[in-house]
Structure 1
């Protein structure tokens, strides 16, 4: 079976993004699929060294190829990228068209890929919503006749898919505020290739997380209510370091109020440094005692059921995880190594429970990753739900 996986690795060549998308490629490859990676965003690409966007894709292509090769040498050349000027890299137009014509599943993750005519030749075109509430807010805006031209264009492309998945596992539940917009959303999770994430104890390390501080320029609006990002939720837990003996560290990217966060007791790292490469990102996780993290306000307030790839990676490394409740606990059970919190008091209690029996928490964390995030099982279910 041939599968095309889309993503944003060449557009945003940083470790966390690469892990998000390339583990899909790795998981389908492990299932025996003829898998290929395609990137066609129509955007300029990010240059991390210059911290700006550029039309020059050379270094970004090398980053992508190197990332695939690091997972499996057989994957090194299984990619095609269309640059900002429309030029194809990795394959010719004819080769790409033939590839798509023989494809059973075209998996458009994050809606990252323009759904051009040749791509529509795939038997099943699946949309994977990795940003619950945001995706549905765009659809709702179009349905209400209040969307701008760009939103109307993106929603039109979204609706051209045959089947829809969401990382918001609670979408469609009675207590979830994310609208379904008349679409059947199949729940799915981020696949983790467990072999990539060795169990390594770091009992003297800090509880860490990697976070992009971004104040939403156009926040999602659903049912007349405006939702925010991580910055909104982080403010609620700013004083957490003063309430626990644990060292709490956050690797920050973006225009965060660093001085104020540091003054509250948080230890700070530069997000672009710890996530420069896939290896650097993994090393940062491995050097952590565990993870403590908030989620986007839009995920939390709507009870979307979202759970991050990053947190799943911590679990896979045997790192206890303490994360903000989004409704995910209705689908991934909590326990000694996975805690959901809604208040600062609950977060403090969770950290204390982990401290009381750290070895037990670490073992449960890895068990949870194996039971709920193993890439081969997640992608096998995705194929079944796509009717393949």
Structure 2
């Protein structure tokens, strides 16, 4: 098939090695299955034409390293909510070619509603790919995002239709899928040794959503500060590559360091897909604290970053979002709901690291590999 991938998070974020790595799994995995893939990256203008051009050309240069440049384009708009194709600045193939591809495409996979109307209507078969369950659906109750303008709705929210999930379904059928890795990018790595830290990579945000009288946090800051004392309780190394930024009004760096966390800048240690893999490889395991909204709504979300750790043979200790129904836990992946359970999970990883490392890699190869998950996603379409 000819599959168009639409995304809007990379061209303006060249330092986000983890986000780049996540997105690359899609075109590389689909191409390996024999499909023709065209990637449309949307970007909002920063107002400086020279800077816009630099971002767009850097994007195309980066995807060229994976043989994807001839099948990629950047569409730049003054406002991403108003996507008048006739006013777009186009980088890559000419606009006529892109419109022909849209007309001929068997599927559009529209990640996080990146393409909006009227551009969206140029694709005959439209599939929404949701990697932010709860966040996306609640946002769609407050803003017009074109969610209902898709024919199929895919989500990593494994529990969206369960009675104990608090996220709205918007009257739509959400078909679950699991995050995945294109395994040729991820070779199992040797044990880094017991001195290597439990780690993760994250933004550091304060946002909240209001829904039916509830305040729901989207803040990774709030997620990790719940476990600020975890290093002291476990007596081992923890490191967070957190983009806290130059301003730190609440002195979060100090609080984390006082709790025993090492803090590094992800824009320095994981600013390319290659550096991102290297950072994960140097870790003992992941300590994953999701956005509180995933936990509070019981969405069943599981992280693409966690799957990358698993592929390297790195176990994952993850705060529970209800994912245990679809992700085997107990070996390789250990879940927790509070600090005591997190401490026990860390101790279990260290008790038999080789067992958990082997199981981590097995899960990546057997369950989270791109062949399996992409075939299931295509079948749902």
Equivalence for 2:21: 19
Q: How does 1:168-183 map to 2 (within 5 A)?
A: 168-183=157-172
Tell me the distance in 2 between the aligned counterparts of 1:25 and 1:44.
27
Tell me the distance in 1 between the aligned counterparts of 2:124 and 2:369.
26
Q: How does 1:303-382 map to 2 (within 5 A)?
A: 303-382=298-377
Q: Is it true that 1:239 corresponds to 2:229 in the alignment? A: yes
Matched residue of 1:60: which SS? Answer: helix
Q: Is it true that 1:280 corresponds to 2:270 in the alignment? A: no
Equivalence for 2:261: 266
Equivalence for 1:126: 127
**What 5-or-longer segments of structure 1 have no aligned partner?**
46-52, 142-150
Q: Deviations over 1:359-378 (max 9, x none)?
A: 11100001111122111221
Q: How many residues align?
A: 362
Q: Decide which moves more: 125-134 or 61-70.
A: 61-70
Match for residue 188 of structure 1 among 177, 181, 188: 177
Tell me the distance in 2 between the aligned counterparts of 1:66 and 1:324.
37
Q: Is it true that 1:10 corresponds to 2:7 in the alignment? A: no
Tell me the distance in 1 between the aligned counterparts of 2:280 and 2:57.
24
Residue 311 of structure 1 and its aligned partner are, at CA, apart by: 0.7
> Does the 8 Å contact 1:42/1:114 carry over to 2?
no
Matched residue of 2:109: which SS? Answer: strand
Distance 1:364 1:30, change over 3 A: same
Distance 1:359 1:37, change over 3 A: same
Distance 1:67 1:193, change over 3 A: farther
Q: How does 1:206-217 map to 2 (within 5 A)?
A: 206-216=197-207
Matched residue of 1:208: which SS? Answer: strand
Distance 1:54 1:137, change over 3 A: farther
Q: Deviations over 1:88-126 (max 9, x none)?
A: 011111111101111011011111223433x53333101
Matched residue of 2:30: which SS? Answer: helix
Residue 43 of structure 1 and its aligned partner are, at CA, apart by: 4.7
Q: Is it true that 1:163 corresponds to 2:152 in the alignment? A: yes
Q: Decide which moves more: 228-237 or 303-312.
A: 228-237
Equivalence for 2:93: 91
Matched residue of 1:37: which SS? Answer: strand
Equivalence for 1:139: 140
Tell me the distance in 2 between the aligned counterparts of 1:140 and 1:100.
28
Equivalence for 1:82: 75
Residue 167 of structure 1 and its aligned partner are, at CA, apart by: 1.4
Q: Decide which moves more: 336-345 or 82-91.
A: 82-91
Equivalence for 1:251: 241
Q: How does 1:24-103 map to 2 (within 5 A)?
A: 24-44=26-46, 56-70=51-65, 72-73=66-67, 75-84=68-77, 86-103=88-105
Matched residue of 1:303: which SS? Answer: coil
Tell me the distance in 1 between the aligned counterparts of 2:297 and 2:366.
26
Equivalence for 2:84: none
Distance 1:23 1:138, change over 3 A: same
**What 5-or-longer segments of structure 2 have no aligned partner?**
79-87
Residue 63 of structure 1 and its aligned partner are, at CA, apart by: 3.6
Q: How does 1:291-306 map to 2 (within 5 A)?
A: 291-306=286-301
